[in-house]
Amino acid sequence: MTVKPALHVLLAGPRGFCAGVDRAIKIVEESLRRFGAPVYVRHEIVHNKFVVQSLEAQGAIFVEELDEVPADAPVVFSAHGVPKSVPAEARRRNMVYLDATCPLVSKVHREAERHAAAGRHILLIGHAGHPEVVGTMGQLEPGTVTLVETVAEAETVRPPEGPLAFTTQTTLSVDDTAEIVATLARRFPHLVGPAKEDICYATTNRQAAVKAIAARSGMVVVVGAPNSSNSVRLREVAERAGCPRAIMVQRGRELDPALADGVATLGITAGASAPDVLVQEVLERLRERFTLTVEEVVVAEESVVFKLPAALAK
């Protein structure tokens, strides 16, 4: 019997599901129990195909727009949030709807509304076209918000004269965002906003955890999806923290274990929308080729839990 070479695995902690994702999935599952199938979901409930397919198997139907949902069927809005026009349209059509927007995204929506009510133009730091950015912009009147994506844009953006505020997407790079905020604060000394930014606890902790393992790892594997903002950031953070190779996979079978040949220590993390079963798949895949020793590196403990919406909590 050939002996498999040794591979030391560092598991980032925290990794994987956050409280907002956990709540969003429970909202779909509980809706299926209450209303029976089908329950429609506008947009992927979270950016993970395994999660989406598991819910589809239970009777959920995923669509991109509300007009694809029959008026007599219940619909859930995804964790990323929706423009105000979406619930407004659901009410107009007398639909039953459940909002799975993460409470930390809703908090940013309210913050943006407060700035607008105070007459401040808003600089929203985020990625163009991402559903959370579309949702946050959709809380505001057109012309009252300008998107800033990069430090270069922060250097050149020309908002209208007058009071100015900033808000951010919740799943951005902590380091990039600090630089963007510093640039804006230098150019616009009257800029108001949160103490740092609106990046959530889960994004912050997952980036800190992957940083802690990246410098010790010859390779890092991020379990997540290419359309998952927070997961994509984890791969970037690992690379910037000095790891020579950081890759992203959606499932264990996507990983070629031979990539880890010659690597002594391999780091693994998972985006906030990636279930733990997929991390286990990656470990199983590596065991096909290596004898693993697994060490968990925990940089923060998380105890955040969000309640279900009142309509489902009863």
Active centre residues (catalytic): 132
CB nearer to ligand 0CH: pick between 133 and 286: 133
- What phi, psi does 4 have (nearest 5°)? -75, 140
CB 165 within 8 A of CB 122: yes
Is 21 an interacting residue with respect to ligand 0CH (CB under 6 A)? yes
Tell me the angle at which helices 229-240 and 201-214 cross, rounded to the nearest 10 degrees: 30
Which of the choices ligand 0CH, ligand SF4, none does residue 271 contact, using the CB cut-off of 5 to 8 A by kind?
ligand 0CH
Residue 228 interacts with, from ligand SF4, ligand 0CH, none (CB under 5-8 Å by kind): ligand 0CH
43 is in an annotated binding site: no
8 annotated ligand binder: no
Q: Is 78 annotated as a binding residue?
A: no
Interhelix angle 19-35/49-57, rounded to 10 degrees, is 20
Interaction between residue 229 and ligand 0CH (CB under 6 A): yes
Whether the Cβ atoms of residue 40 and residue 76 lie closer than 8 Å to each other: yes
Select the binding partner of residue 19 from ligand SF4, ligand 0CH, none (C-beta < 5 to 8 A, by kind): ligand SF4
Compare residues 27 and 102 and give the one whose CB is closer to ligand 0CH.
102
Q: Name which of residues 132 to 151 contact ligand 0CH (CB under 6 A).
A: 132
For the bound state, the minimum distance from the C-beta of residue 80 to ligand SF4, rounded and expressed in Å, comes to 8
Binding site for ligand SF4 (CB under 6 A): 18-21, 79, 102, 104-105, 170-171, 200, 202-203, 230, 272
| By the rule CB under 6 A, 271 interacts with ligand 0CH | yes
Cβ of residue 231: shortest distance to ligand 0CH, in angstroms? 6
Q: If binding is defined by CB under 6 A, does position 31 make contact with ligand 0CH? A: no
In angstroms, the CA 298 to CA 38 distance is: 40
Q: Which helix (H) or strand (E) holds 11?
A: strand 6-13
State both tokens at 120.
Answer: 């401040």
Q: Using CA atoms, how far apart are residues 182 and 289, in angstroms rounded to an integer?
A: 47
Instruction: Specify the DSSP element, H or E, that contains 209.
Output: helix 201-214
199 closest CA partner among 209, 210, 207 = 207
Q: How far is the CB of 200 from ligand SF4 (least distance, A)?
A: 3
Report the phi/psi class of residue 242: left, alpha or beta, with left for phi > 0 and alpha for psi in -120 to 50: left
Binds ligand 0CH (CB under 6 A): choice among 95, 108, 137, 272: 272
Q: How far is the CB of 202 from ligand 0CH (least distance, A)?
A: 8
Distance CA 309, CA 305 (A): 13
Is residue 42 within 8 Å of 71, Cβ to Cβ? no
Are residues 269 and 220 in contact, defined by beta-carbon separation less than 8 angstroms?
yes
* Interaction partner, residue 229 (ligand 0CH, ligand SF4, none; CB < 5-8 Å by kind): ligand 0CH
170 is in an annotated binding site: yes
DSSP state of 298: E
Binding residues: 18, 47, 80, 102, 130, 170, 200, 228-230, 273
Residues near ligand 0CH, by CB under 6 A: 20-21, 46-47, 79-80, 102, 105, 132, 170-171, 228-231, 271-273
